[in-house]
């Protein structure tokens, strides 16, 4: 459970002005520097690095995201974008190309993404709140339907299988 003081701090106007610009850059810098072993946001929230392909540019993109991993191996990621009014670019990339990569704790998985329906979001609310405890504050501030995705690991190809 996330400490209430952290939730209050994380949803303050000052933090929400600065965090979207500073936190992802710091996370990515240290993640690259430590070859995937360190992600500062993991000190507070369960965090992954999501690798997508830009739907317009075709350029690989890496985005640190708060996530919740279930016992079945799936991740839930929330496109809250710190409560800003527009959807994050990574969520648009997943809508156009649902194949992605998840990197967490020095390991990588190929995943397939699927956007949850409104009914599924209601059913998964407990997981959404585990990923982002301040989801309700972000949703109210954003004034839009926040996209939530389930990332399912794809099976690794068997090296013994040959065409």
| Residue pLDDT, tens place only, 7-26 | 555 565 656 566 666 677 76
| Residue pLDDT, tens place only, 96-123 | 999 999 998 888 999 999 999 999 999 9
Does the domain at residues 4-153 carry the CATH identifier 2.30.110.10?
yes
User: Residue 8 contacts by C-beta under 8 Å, 6 or more apart in sequence?
Assistant: none
Which letter does DSSP use for residue 55 in this model?
T
pTM of the model as a whole = 0.79
Enumerate the H helices of the chain as residue ranges. Answer: 4-10, 13-33, 89-96, 118-123, 125-131, 135-142
Is pLDDT at 68 greater than 80 in this prediction? yes
């Amino acid at each position: 459970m996330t400490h209430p003081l952290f939730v209050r701090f994380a949803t303050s106007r000052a933090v929400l002005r600065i965090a979207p610009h500073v936190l992802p850059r710091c996370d990515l810098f240290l993640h690259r520097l430590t070859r995937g072993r360190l992600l500062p946001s993991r000190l507070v929230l369960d965090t992954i690095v999501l690798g997508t392909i830009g739907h317009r540019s075709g350029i690989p993109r890496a985005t640190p995201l708060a996530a919740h991993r279930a016992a079945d191996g799936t991740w839930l990621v929330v496109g809250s974008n710190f409560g800003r009014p527009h959807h994050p670019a990574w969520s648009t990339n997943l809508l156009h190309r649902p194949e992605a990569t998840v990197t967490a704790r020095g390991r990588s998985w190929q995943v397939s993404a699927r956007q949850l329906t409104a009914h599924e979001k209601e059913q998964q609310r407990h997981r959404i709140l585990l990923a982002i405890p301040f989801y309700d504050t972000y949703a109210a501030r954003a004034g839009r339907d926040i996209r939530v995705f389930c990332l399912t690991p794809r099976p690794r190809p068997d090296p013994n299988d040959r065409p």
